[in-house]
A = this chain, B = another copy of it.
Amino acid sequence: MWQDLKPIGRNPESGGYRRYAWTGADAECRAWFEAQARSRGLTYELDRNGNQWAWLGDPAQGNAVVTGSHLDSVPDGGPFDGPLGVVSAFAALDELRRRGAEFTRPLAIVNFGDEEGARFGLACVGSRLTAGQLTPEQAHRLRDADGITLPQAMERAGHDPEAIGPDPDRLARIGAFVELHVEQGRALDLSGDRIGIASAIWPHGRWRFDFRGEANHAGTTRLVDRRDPMLSYAETVLAARREAELAGAVATFGKISVEPNGVNAIPSLVRGWLDSRAADQATLDTVVEGIEKAAREYGDRHGIELDVVRESFTPVVEFEHALRDEMARILGEGRDTDIRVPVLGTGAGHDAGILSGSIPTAMLFVRNPTGVSHSPAEYASEDDCLAGVTALADVLEGLACK
């Protein structure tokens, strides 16, 4: 099952994956999902927002248990972020059937569309639309780097963009959503555990910093006559690191766009994107305010205009305590393994975080010894992945079976 998915959307140079929403690679991943669903006799369904569902039992019965994740990737991402949750969901169902489990609640496996936001800049579009956290009007304005709008991309991929919008009836039928995901960090590796349960997702935002100066000739413009926004940008990148260190948070400038971007031209515009996250809202506010203050002070002294726009924001997500405790109980008691399952927070956003506003959600993490993610170096051992499947099967059995 894992092998079929491996070559799709892979960049042969980096070994990383480029599975962006509504592209050819995305369509191949979707075809794979549908084939997996049908080969298991599950009822396949594509919802109005482009999320794929595979049902065992009658959804109309309500109180369904849902598991799954996403199949799209960041630019040159690793093989596990997303697909591990979907593959493990199918594998856990196979395991439950081997065990002869009898289901008392409907079960579904889901692939949420456009989780990474690699193409249109906004993460979790599929789950946001479903949960009503993104309006169709806002979604229609999303545009990729080539100027193609989300509706145009959806249409080209054969999906009706007019159909998108909130789907409260669907959510009302779901009693619990459990997402399994490779850990994006080294907490489990440092504690020596294979599997963990998520406690919370840190608050998280993206800010665009536009530094505007004056384009000029790099060879003939005296230093004192320059208004070079690249200098402001550089000061701000270093300020971000300083502020994050002070606060025990993270802050990253990973994306930049420069005009005119010529070797012999002082730039007129440097646009840098800040990603920052912290354990709580007050800390995050302090960090971002500190970075913006440093950027303004430097810019004011050097004739650089600065605009800061918050492009996205997700407040802190505490996963539902009842479901989390129930999972800890299932994984702690009566199992024939002596695996400890710690509870840990994470800085990464997930569809489970979006849906937690509407329905009880929880997450399982599988150890990633490199701590690396969003890169081809992302890794999970086969033993740890199998431990993840067993844990997910145990949770689903505990929640949905006699």
CB within 8 Å of B: which residues of A?
Answer: 16, 74-76, 118, 121, 123, 183-186, 202, 204, 206, 214-223, 225, 228, 230-231, 233-235, 237-238, 241, 244-245, 250, 252-256, 258-268, 273, 275, 277, 346-349, 371-377
Contacts and interface: CB of A to CB of B under 8 A. Distances in A.
A217 B375 CA distance: 8
B256 A261 contact: yes
Given A233-B234, A238-B235, A256-B258, A219 B265 contact: no
Given A184-B220, A220-B184, A254 B250 contact: no
Nearest to A252: B218
B250 A221 contact: yes
A377 B215 CA distance: 8
A375 B263 CA distance: 14
Tell me which of A230, A267, A348 has the highest count of chain B C-beta atoms within 10 A of its own C-beta: A230
A275 B263 contact: yes
Report whether over half of chain A's contact residues are helix, strand or loop; otherwise say mixed: loop
Tell me which of A75, A202, A234, A372 has the highest count of chain B C-beta atoms within 10 A of its own C-beta: A234
Contact of A184 (B75, B219, B262): B219
7 contacts: A75-B260, A76-B215, A184-B219, A185-B221, A186-B222, A234-B238, A254-B263
A261 B265 contact: no
B277 A219 contact: yes
Contacts of A371: 216, 220-222, 225
A75 B258 CA distance: 12
A-B complex: 9 closest residue pairs judged by Cβ atoms: A219-B347, A184-B220, A215-B375, A75-B260, A218-B252, A234-B237, A234-B234, A185-B220, A217-B373
Assembly stoichiometry (copies)? 2
A287 B266 CA distance: 18
Given A233-B234, A259-B76, A265-B74, A185 B215 contact: no
Contacts of A373: 216-217, 220-221
Given A75-B260, A261-B254, A263-B206, A223 B245 contact: yes
Given A217-B347, A218-B374, A222-B250, 16 more contacts: A74-B262, A75-B259, A185-B221, A202-B219, A215-B374, A215-B376, A216-B374, A218-B275, A220-B347, A221-B250, A223-B244, A230-B254, A235-B238, A252-B264, A254-B267, A256-B258
Contacts of A346: 219-220
Given A254-B258, A262-B74, A265-B254, A219 B372 contact: no
Contacts of A231: 237-238, 241
Contacts of A234: 233-235, 237-238
A220 B230 CA distance: 27
A375 B372 CA distance: 42
A255 B250 contact: no
Nearest to A190: B222
A348 B219 contact: yes
B264 A374 contact: yes
A234 B202 CA distance: 27
